[in-house]
Amino acid sequence: MNLAPIILLPALAAAGAPAREVSLLDFWRDKCAQGDTEACARIRSAQPGVDRIARLDAYAEQFAAGADRAGWQDGRRPRLDRSYIPALTLYFQGEQAVDAPLTALDEQALGMCARHYHHYWVDRKLWWPTDENRQPDWRAIYYFIVDHYLGVCLPRRF
């Protein structure tokens, strides 16, 4: 008979509650509160990124709430080429409103980028983010669109 589970189970239970999830930013905040000047400097340098993530979350919520499902969906299939430009318009307008440093919106490349994005996800991969009702998850799609434009489209300029 293997005694390892009998011995280990009480030891694990005695270890206490499970550890809480701690982000790197939380870790730095704790270290900074303890007087670690390097951790304080890291928090200051990370703050613009933290602020940008919060703005992206707000844009994604706004995009999902205003999704033109009639124009952006054929049944349950998203028309990512039709939602691409509205997503980027929301992103660039929001970032300009807070005077964030931006890469310029390339009006000439937008059509090609939108078609490439739609073709890659819908025609080629046959996959896209969906919600619990198997409808396109426009909040998640928003993140993918912004990522595609900034990370794939602009560097390549099809």
Reference 91, options 57, 65, 123, 67; nearest CA is: 57
Q: Is 157 left (phi over 0), alpha (psi -120 to 50) or beta?
A: left
Q: Is the dihedral of CA 92, 141, 156, 71 positive or negative?
A: negative
CA 67 to each of CA 10, 49, 64, 90: distance values in angstroms, whole numbers, following the listed order:
52, 26, 5, 12
Task: Supply the mean pLDDT for the chain.
Answer: 83
Q: Dmax over Cα atoms in the chain, in whole Å?
A: 72
Q: Give the model's pLDDT for residue 9.
A: 46
Separation CA 49–CA 109 (nearest Å): 26
Quote the pTM value. Answer: 0.74
pLDDT tens profile 72-88: 998 888 999 999 999 99
Q: Flag the least confident range among 69-78, 98-107, 136-145, 146-155.
A: 98-107
Q: Report residue 17 as tokens.
A: 């509650």
CB–CB of 153/119 below 8 Å?
A: no
Q: Is the pLDDT of residue 139 over 90?
A: yes
pLDDT band for 22, please (50, 70, 90 cuts).
low
Region 21-43 average pLDDT: 87
